[in-house]
A and B are shown apart, each in its own frame.
Chain A
Amino acid sequence: MSFFKNLKDKFTSSNEAEEVSDKYKSGLEKTRQSFSTKLNDLIARYRKVDEDFFEELEEILISADVGVNTVMDLVEELEMEVKRRNIKETNELKEVISEKLVTIYTEGDTSTSALNIKANDLSVILFVGVNGVGKTTTIGKLAYQLKQEGKKVLLVAGDTFRAGAIEQLDVWGERTGCDVIKQSAGSDPAAVIYDGIQAAKSRGADVLLCDTAGRLQNKVNLMNELSKVKRVIEREIPDAPHEVLLVLDATTGQNALSQAKEFSQATNVSGIVLTKLDGTAKGGIVLAIRKELNIPVKLVGLGEQMTDLEVFDPNAFVYGLFSEMM
């Protein structure tokens, strides 16, 4: 059975799956359209597999921010494949291309993208990332989702630096009906998070969502501050934080790799939240991050509404990218 048929079957077998993939499809409409149209267009224009064809393929992938190194590796592999299978016509290559892309996502991956949230005990989730990627908004959305699932959720305003950050989280607390633990602006974030953990313990919360201030990954002091926050969490609850989520703006280019590297080093990132995927940005850098650092994407932000947060499903993501080609 071909790869596409596999995927297609998977998504037409149940209504629920259809619903999920519809949401992805609408969220990724722009990505999908431009990417697969370009690919189809390319294949139509170049009947023969040659150097120009590969150069243009390179450009299509790069235009999706896939990451220069990843693209170069991929194209090299394809060139080998072409030689091995003696492929001459470009339409024979279509499936190979998509197959390779999916492999990068799924290679050696047995874990699900579900969040590590314990059934009967407190789970702590720490959110990290550079400025303006949507950490606080993501926390609001996730709080709403967890609340819908019947969990008792507590928020901690660990961004004590940016003007209006505490108030922003407060608004989300009100919207979602979750309590917010906070101190005044300018206080020590580790101390605020400590308070949050104590409050979560004494109030019997199921999930504690910790906001932190946005910081650029090359600021050593600020990254140290973040490591300290993590250490405080570890000290209070030995197996916490249960997730450290790096929030990544889908419009970010190659720098996302450096972000993933540095934040992992400081806080041992366990997953990525890819935000703002409802624009024209492709978020292709996720491929490179997966390939080079093996960090999975766990959640996807697809809009500004409280409900616009989806669990990342690599198959659905890929389906969204390629559905027009099937």
Chain B
Amino acid sequence: MAFEGLADRLQSTIKKMTGKGKVSEQDVKVMAREVRLALLEADVNFKVVKDFVARIKERAVGSEVMESLTPGQQVIKIVKEELTALMGGEQSKIAVAERPPTVIMMVGLQGAGKTTTTGKLANLLRKKHNRKPLLVAADIYRPAAINQLQTVGKQLDIPVFEKGTEVSPVEIAKEAVEYAKEEHYDYVIIDTAGRLHVDDELMDELNQIKESVAPDEIFLVVDAMTGQDAVNVAENFDKQLNLSGVVLTKLDGDTRGGAALSIKAVTNKPIKFIGVGEKLDELEPFHPERMASRILGMGDVLTLIEKAQDNFDQKKAKELEEKVRSASFDFDDFLEQMEQVKSMGPLDELLGMIPGANKMKGLKNVQVDEKQLVHVEAIVKSMTKAERKDPSLMNSSRKKRIAKGSGRPISEVNRLLKQFNEMKKMMKQFSGMQGGKKGKRKKGFNFPLM
């Protein structure tokens, strides 16, 4: 992680203040500054931050913080609440036209991810809502843009309407909607060319498309890594087109995504979906609370739990939990757990969701490589049943045999054994924490959950 989360920041600030019985107004000021820095580092627009921090300060000076025993936690709680409120409720619904087809227009800067998102959205409409979408290639400017949409269409087996690069985008959009009516498509999703919000000519073209097809939705596609300029972009697009919603892309990166907050604050248009991967099914509904956690650098426990619930066998999970608690976790359990985790999705993504994971010794520098999982599996499967149950049996001749059996170097076998032992140690930390009281939490792994 490139930046410290707000939770870490506040904790270190408060550490400096310990010894005091009460939090003074001056302390609140210091904390407010930390909040401000954390938000700025997350790329939230500085104007938005200013208003926001003023509001936080007001609440924090009130009794709920001053008299609290854990002022840091209180401030985080307030910040998170305010942040979530500011980002609005969940709104991943897409308008439905009275008479089909429903027309959706995708707009945005170059390279934001419009074409990919167009494909993902069509996929979602078909898969989750059982609709029949039509993709429209209206980017006649960028080389091979039409080709890109066609390839996406082919991958998804969803038809693409195109007229080459000689017909104007306005004409293409119009004809596409006509065609969709005749062929009884439910949705028409128009992929437009990327353009700068200050390019009057191209912005005017979008307006013409809008007038000619009267879209039910106009989505602004925004790169989650966008900095302070996100406000200018969103404001301009909204002024010209009156957007109906925003799709945030590339959230599978390590960006905090403060742009989300800026855009919501400035345009007051809902963020409807987020793009979380390069695959065409990686589009998710937007959850304001989770985004708030992310901006503050607090991990995304809710998504993690949800994924676990989706994929985990409850009974097995319970058994596992018991084993973790009693520290009788062995290589058989390890193998089983690996299978379950694999079914949850990319590991690095999961790790990122654990709050404080980046701070944890042993987890800090874990580089997750899915290929390594295959190797690990091979090594474990080359152990005898007895060895899996009791790793302490391991000696050098056993290790040699395992290395041979799995086709991996002996150093890798050693590393795995070491990691396994470390993992067991870590589990003790986890289980200690679950049952522990506030004061007993292990240093370096402080759950910033309210």
CB within 8 Å of B: which residues of A? 30, 59, 62-65, 68, 130-134, 140, 161-165, 167-168, 170-172, 175, 185, 216-221, 224, 249, 251-258, 261, 276, 278-282, 285, 304
Minimum CB–CB distance from B44 to chain A (whole Å) comes to: 9
Distance (whole angstroms) from the CB of B258 to the closest CB of chain A = 7
Residues of A close to B40: CB separation below 8 A: 62, 68
Q: Which chain A residue shows the least CB distance to B366?
A: A220
Known: A131-B111, A253-B227, A254-B42. A164 touches B253 (CB 8 A): no
Interface residue B314 (Cβ < 8 Å from any Cβ of A): no
Residue pair B43, A254 in contact (C-beta under 8 Å): yes
Distance of A279 Cα from B143 Cα, bound (Å): 20
A253 touches B148 (CB 8 A): no
Residue of A nearest to B193 (CB): A304
In the bound complex, what is the Cα–Cα distance between A141 and B358 (angstroms)?
40
Contact status A220-B348, CB under 8 Å: yes
B229 adjacent to A281 (CB under 8 Å): yes
User: Which residues on the A side are within 8 Å of B150 (C-beta)?
Assistant: 164
* Shortest Cβ distance from residue A144 to the other chain B in the assembled complex, whole angstroms: 13
Whole-angstrom distance between the Cβ of B203 and the nearest chain A Cβ: 12
**Residues in B neighbouring A63, C-beta threshold 8 A:** 45-46, 228
Residues from 36 to 51 in B contacting A, C-beta threshold 8 Å: 37, 40-43, 45-46, 50
Query: Known contacts being A162-B148, A221-B370, is A282 close to B253, with CB within 8 Å?
Result: no
Task: Flag if A132 contacts B113 (CB, 8 Å).
Answer: yes
The list of the 10 closest CB pairs from A to B, nearest first, reads A253-B227, A132-B111, A164-B148, A171-B143, A163-B151, A253-B43, A167-B144, A168-B144, A258-B2, A65-B227
Q: Please judge, given known A-B contacts A253-B226, A255-B225, A279-B109, whether A164 and B144 are in contact too, CB under 8 Å.
A: yes
Tell me which residues from 194 to 243 in chain B have a Cβ below 8 Å from any Cβ of chain A. 196-198, 223, 225-230, 232-233
Identify 7 new A-B residue pairs, CB closer than 8 A, beyond the known A164-B115, A254-B227.
Answer: A130-B250, A164-B147, A216-B253, A221-B369, A221-B370, A251-B233, A258-B255
> What residues of A have a CB within 8 angstroms of the CB of B370 in the complex?
221
| Minimum CB–CB distance for B35 against chain A, Å | 13
Least CB distance from B194 to A in Å reads 9
Query: How far in angstroms is the closest Cβ of chain A from B270?
Result: 22
The CA-CA distance from A255 to B151 in the complex, in Å, is 30
* In the complex, chain B residues whose CB is within 8 Å of the CB of A175: 143
Q: A62-B228, A251-B227 known; A216 and B111 CB under 8 Å?
A: no
Contact B3 A254 (CB under 8 A): yes
Give chain B residues whose Cβ lies under 8 Å from the Cβ of A256. Answer: 225, 227
Known: A167-B143, A167-B144. A280 touches B197 (CB 8 A): yes
Chain B's interface size range is 35 or more
Instruction: Answer yes or no: B129 CB below 8 A from chain A CBs.
Output: no
Residues of B contacting A167 in the complex (Cβ-Cβ under 8 angstroms): 143-144, 147-148
Q: Cα distance A134–B145 when bound, in Å?
A: 13
Indicate if the CB atoms of A65 and B144 lie closer than 8 Å: no
A66 to chain B, nearest CB (A): 9
Distance of B291 from chain A, by nearest CB (Å): 15
When the two chains form their complex, are residues A280 and B198 in contact, meaning their CB atoms are under 8 A apart? Answer: yes
B155 x A163 contact (CB < 8 A): yes
How far, in whole Å, are A258 and B150 apart by their CA atoms in the complex?
33
Whether A221 contacts B371 by the Cβ 8 Å rule is yes
Select which of A30, A218, A251, A261 is within 8 A of B253 by beta carbon: A218
Contact A216 B252 (CB under 8 A): yes
Interface pair B368/A220, CB less than 8 Å apart: yes
B110 interface residue (CB < 8 Å to A): yes
Contact with A along B26-70 (1 / 0, CB 8 A): 000000000001001111011000100000000000000000000
Residue of B nearest to A131 (CB): B250
Listed by A's residue number, 16 A-B pairs whose Cβ atoms lie within 8 Å are A59-B50, A65-B229, A130-B225, A131-B113, A161-B278, A163-B147, A163-B151, A164-B115, A167-B144, A167-B148, A171-B143, A216-B253, A251-B223, A255-B254, A261-B2, A280-B229
Q: How far is the CA of A281 from the CA of B113 in the complex (A)?
A: 18
Question: Is residue B190 contacting chain A, with contact meaning CB distance below 8 A?
Answer: no
**In the complex, which residue of chain B has the Cβ closest to the Cβ of A71?**
B40
- Please indicate the chain A residues that have their CB under 8 angstroms from the CB of B255 in the complex: 253-255, 258
Q: In the complex, which residues 93-116 of chain B have their Cβ closer than 8 Å to any Cβ of chain A?
A: 109-113, 115
B111 to chain A, nearest CB (A): 3
Q: Which residues of A contact B148 (CB under 8 A)?
A: 162-165, 167-168
- Determine the chain A residues whose CB is within 8 A of the CB of B113 once the complex forms: 131-132
Measured between beta carbons, the chain B residues less than 8 angstroms from A59 are 46, 50
Contacting pair B151 A68 (CB below 8 A): no
Which of A65, A134, A258 makes the CB contact (< 8 A) with B110? Answer: A134
- Minimum distance in angstroms from B28 CB to a CB of chain A: 17
- Any chain A CB within 8 A of the CB of B396? no
Tell me which residues across on chain B come within 8 A of A285, comparing CB atoms.
227
| Complex-state Cα separation, A161 to B3, whole angstroms | 30
Chain A residues whose CB sits within 8 angstroms of the CB of B367 once the complex forms = 220
> Chain B contacts of A282 at CB under 8 A?
228-229
A170 to B147, CA, bound (A): 12
The answer to whether B369 and A220 touch across the interface, beta carbons within 8 angstroms, is yes
Find chain A residues with CB under 8 A from B278 CB: 131, 161
Whole-angstrom distance between the Cβ of A131 and the nearest chain B Cβ: 6
Interface residue B142 (Cβ < 8 Å from any Cβ of A): yes
Q: Mark B1-44, 1 if CB is under 8 A from A, else 0.
A: 01100000000000000000000000000000000010011110
Q: Are B227 and A132 in contact (CB under 8 A)?
A: no
